[in-house]
A and B are shown apart, each in its own frame.
Chain A
Amino acid sequence: MIWSAILGLTIVVVIIWMVDRKRVKASTGRTKLTFWFLTVVGWVIGALLFLYPDMPGPSQVWLFIFKPLSNMVGLH
């Protein structure tokens, strides 16, 4: 089940590449780098989320930073 989900994610990544491949191939190094960086980061985060659905994320970071402030003014 998890592996089929990761396979689906890989198919999505391949479709994204297919749609933009002409534009990315014709572009300069920076566009290529950013495009592949974002896509690979997306694939890695997606795969990790399928494997560990309860992985702590950005919300936990914001809660850690801003919860003391919220408690201070009485939001709880």
Chain B
Amino acid sequence: MAEKNTISGMQMGLLLFPVIVATADLIVPTITTKYAGRDMWLSPVCASIVGFLTVYLIFKLHELYPRQTIIQYSTQIVGAIPGKIVAFIILYDILYTNGNILRLYGEFIVGSFLHETPLVVVMASILLLCAFTIRAGLEVLARAAQILVPLLFLFYMGVVLLMIPFMKTENFFPVLEHGIIPVLRGALTPQGWFSEVILFSFLAPFLPGQAKGMKAGFVTVIFAAMALFSLNLSALLILGGEVGAMTYPFYTAIQMISYADFFENFDAVVIAIWVAGAFVKMSMFYYSLSLGTAQLMGIDDYRPLVFPLGLLLILFSFWTAPDMSTLSSNIAKTAGFQTSVIFSFLPLLLYIVAQLRMKHRSKTGNTYGADSKK
């Protein structure tokens, strides 16, 4: 492989934290409120179970097939042709999901700030930035994340703290009025965001040691679940029942912050820092897509594929839905199942088949497989 870069476990976690959080904070509070009502703050916590499962599977598979991504070992696990099909489905879904992310980003920026700018200009400019970053290599992206993501995290914490005086506890009660079922129903969509931790598979081969990977993965999922929990909770406590009627509830809640009539309009600062998170998220997807496509085709260098894939990403972002409301309802209807089936269930199947193969090999006396397991 041409890539000789290494990244640390912390950098890996910082790359994946915005992958879960950066666009979930836009539309997830609305979608979960639609199904879970007042108990929507519990839904991201339930949804994070899928994230833990995916992290476990990805790093267990990486232990069995070290220094390989899911695209490479899927052909070793289920055979050449089915493996290529599995890899293609995963890459296609990464392409489709990244198209959706790009569209969400564009619609959010055009809707809240750049009202007169054409959508394609907003999306193409951030995509060009992502393309330059990932052509520079994974280490550059990891260092960018190392600077940007802690800032994102601190700003979000600061904003949530500033919101505290405007929260109304009566919005919180009664808890679990209709039982646990609506909460689980509301968790179905956010679990799609937690399944996206499959992208760890494209980073794990670049870790120097193997043991730290899974721990960093779990910590990332815990932090992301806590972040989504606090975002949902603060939106609920400030806006109450209106959360379900808004497009971007958390940003509406931020607009409510006002101290002494001059310390306000915080949303501008927060959106500026949110763009950094969205940039890391899109770059991470884009990088996985480029690297995975190169590995699927057996190419050493992914760099020539970056711009053609960028063209496809822009087209998919327009193709996916005619407007924001259709996009949001499509995501509410399919994202939970579509991403968790492809990003979590396929790795689960691969893991089961890999385990069966290991057992079969050690039974037939072929010690190579049994040794490589240890």
Contacts and interface: CB of A to CB of B under 8 A. Distances in A.
Contact of A42 (B185, B188, B297, B308): B308
Contacts of A42: 308, 311-312, 315
Given A34-B293, A35-B308, A70-B334, A57 B188 contact: no
Contacts of B301: 23, 27, 31
Interface stretch (B6-14, B54-62, B319-327): B319-327
Interface in B271-317: 293-294, 297-299, 301, 303-305, 307-309, 311-312, 315-316
A75 B308 contact: no
A12 B299 CA distance: 24
Contacts of A45: 312, 315, 319
Nearest to B332: A75
A51 interface: no
Interface residues of B, number: 35
Interface in A20-76: 20, 23-24, 27-28, 30-31, 33-35, 38-39, 41-43, 45-46, 49, 53-55, 57-59, 62-63, 65-67, 69-70, 73-76
B309 A38 contact: yes
Most buried by A among B294, B304, B305: B304
A7 interface: no
Nearest to A56: B319
A19 interface: yes
B333 A63 contact: yes
10 contacts: A23-B303, A31-B297, A38-B308, A42-B312, A58-B96, A62-B330, A63-B330, A65-B338, A75-B185, A76-B333
Given A49-B319, A63-B330, 14 more contacts: A12-B311, A19-B307, A30-B298, A31-B299, A35-B305, A38-B293, A38-B312, A49-B318, A59-B330, A62-B334, A66-B337, A67-B334, A70-B337, A74-B185
